[in-house]
Amino acid sequence: MPSINNFLKGFSDGLPGLKDYQHASRLYLDDNFKLAPKNKFLFHVVFDIDNTVISRPFTDGEKLELNMLVKTCQLPKYNLNYEEKLQYNKKTFVATRIQYQPVNISFHDDQADTVNAFWKSYYEYNIADSVTLGGANNTVTSFGKDTMYESGEGIPRQFGMDNAKARKKPLLRSIQIFVLHRKKFTSFTLVNPVITSFSHDDLDQADGGGIMSNTMQVMYETVLYRVGNVNKADPRGFATLHYDNEPSPLSVLGRGTNSIFGPGGIVDGVGSVISDVANNNISLGTILTGINTYNNAKKVKAKDVKEELKGISKTGIQEIGKKSGTITNPVGSFSVGTAAVVAAVGVTLAGAKGNVDDKNKTSRVINNPIIDTQNYLSPTEAFNLLQTNLSARDRVAASIYYQRNGSRKGLSIAQSDVEFASSSVSVKNIYRNRALSDITKLVNEGYIKINRTTNEVSIIAEKAVL
């Protein structure tokens, strides 16, 4: 009994007992969730139907709605056949063929009969039975009786695959399966697919809450892979019909919030702008995000930051500054450095002395020079990084812009970064070049720190008020 008491006492004494799984946390959360698993429910399927080969073509809206009615979809699977051979008594394996496994796709059985109309068109295009016996009105005709021993004109002869239509082109040219993740997609294109089975659902009066679905299985000739960014044109139809285009009031485009670290807050907005600029994906949404973030940042005062961080101990904040140097926004790949933490809780985390940002060489002094090369890059390593990593160079350039301009205008770090992001290319190039020329001095004097693991850039400023 005493042993178990000592074991439990360890937790209350602050010993490292109950802790989170740091390895898993760093693996899946670092670098903007880069290695986090994809979600199964985020997908979109596009059926490429040739409208020229069917009597009743689908409208553009019907084709888009068919894509949206996919309930579940399997991704391609492959079997590779190898034969074991002896090469001068040494075993080796020779590839003989590849087998593409069938893919199962299920649909919601909608009340507009969109899915049934698709199957009906495919069925009648490939199989003559229903066309021969259904007549013009798709009703059972008198030819439904046995005509084996009858002769004469008008007796139907085409059944099964003996379709009277010249099937020179496939009705279904391809099926594209898009897996969506972090505003990007990975697509699998099934080339020349054929439907090998199609099943309607079962009916059951005892099932009061069930919904109906249709299931089909397709085979295909090969698979094409592609990756890209999600936009209104790609995947085709994903953001065209029945799509909610109204920005959430919690998002930055929906005017955002006055929060610092919350959704739609200052960090979220600045991160979105910086990410768009870094990826050369500047649009009207980027401009609106910058404007809304700037307006919200002007409303925030130091006391609001303290209120938002209430309950977080100074010790915990200091540990964050020591270990990572940044509080990372997972949405926009933008980091608020320890300077923001200093403003929030009044804790001095700076560990160097320098006059890089002081024309008079007297007004800005940070004491206790310490260069932690175990957790942060050395001056030479930082210079080498900026020569090859344009994103890191831009973050350093934004930090220099804050030191030389934003802080003197009384802007917060967030406001300064927004102003830098909206600057002209020529202005940005000036600070990018200055980042290369000044980085070794900035790092050596402790104004800039670059995390060795994540390459996140943090600025150490004596005064930074958000």
Say what the pLDDT of residue 71 is: 96
Give the long-range contacts of residues 11-18, CB within 8 A, separation 24 or more: none
Cβ neighbours for 114, distance < 8 A, ≥ 6 positions apart = 62, 65, 66, 69
Tell which wins on pLDDT, 386 or 190.
190
Give the separation between CA 304 and CA 299, rounded to whole angstroms.
9
Give the separation between CA 285 and CA 318, rounded to whole angstroms.
36
Tell which wins on pLDDT, 277 or 215.
215
Give the separation between CA 103 and CA 245, rounded to whole angstroms.
32
Say what the pLDDT of residue 333 is: 36
Say what the pLDDT of residue 404 is: 81
> How far from the centroid of its chain's Cα atoms is residue 182's Cα?
1
Give the separation between CA 203 and CA 186, rounded to whole angstroms.
37
Say what the pLDDT of residue 189 is: 97
Say what the pLDDT of residue 342 is: 36
| Lowest-confidence region among 16-20, 31-35, 187-191, 419-423 | 16-20
Assess contact for 295 and 418: CB atoms under 8 A.
no
Tell which wins on pLDDT, 226 or 384.
226
Cβ neighbours for 241, distance < 8 A, ≥ 6 positions apart = 61, 64, 65, 68
Say what the pLDDT of residue 352 is: 40
Average of per-residue pLDDT across 96-125: 94
Token pair, residue 268, equals 């979220």
For residue 194, the one-letter residue type is V
pLDDT band of residue 376 (cuts 50, 70, 90) is confident
* DSSP string over 426-457: HHHHHHHHHHHHHHHHHHHTTSEEEBTTT--E
Torsion of CA 132, 136, 138, 141, to 10 degrees: -60
Strands (E), 230-347: 326-329, 334-337
Residues forming CATH 2.30.110 domain(s) in the chain: 43-127+163-229
Give the separation between CA 336 and CA 117, rounded to whole angstroms.
54
| Lowest-confidence region among 118-122, 279-283, 381-385, 395-399 | 279-283
For residue 5, the one-letter residue type is N
Q: Among residues 354, 373, 374, which one has the least CA distance to residue 364?
A: 354
Residue 252: pLDDT above 70? Answer: no
Residue 279: pLDDT above 70? Answer: no
pLDDT for 137-183, tens place per residue? Answer: 555 555 555 555 555 555 555 666 666 555 678 899 999 999 999 88
Residue 316: pLDDT above 70? Answer: no
CB atoms within 10 A of CB 273: 26
Residue 257: pLDDT above 90? Answer: no
* Greatest Cα-to-Cα distance within the chain, rounded to the nearest angstrom: 112
CATH architecture for the domain at 43-127+163-229: Roll (2.30)
Token pair, residue 42, equals 């985020």
Assess contact for 325 and 456: CB atoms under 8 A.
yes
**Could you say which DSSP state residue 49 is in?**
E
Assess contact for 47 and 172: CB atoms under 8 A.
yes
Q: Alpha-carbon Rg of the chain, whole angstroms?
A: 32
Say what the pLDDT of residue 340 is: 38
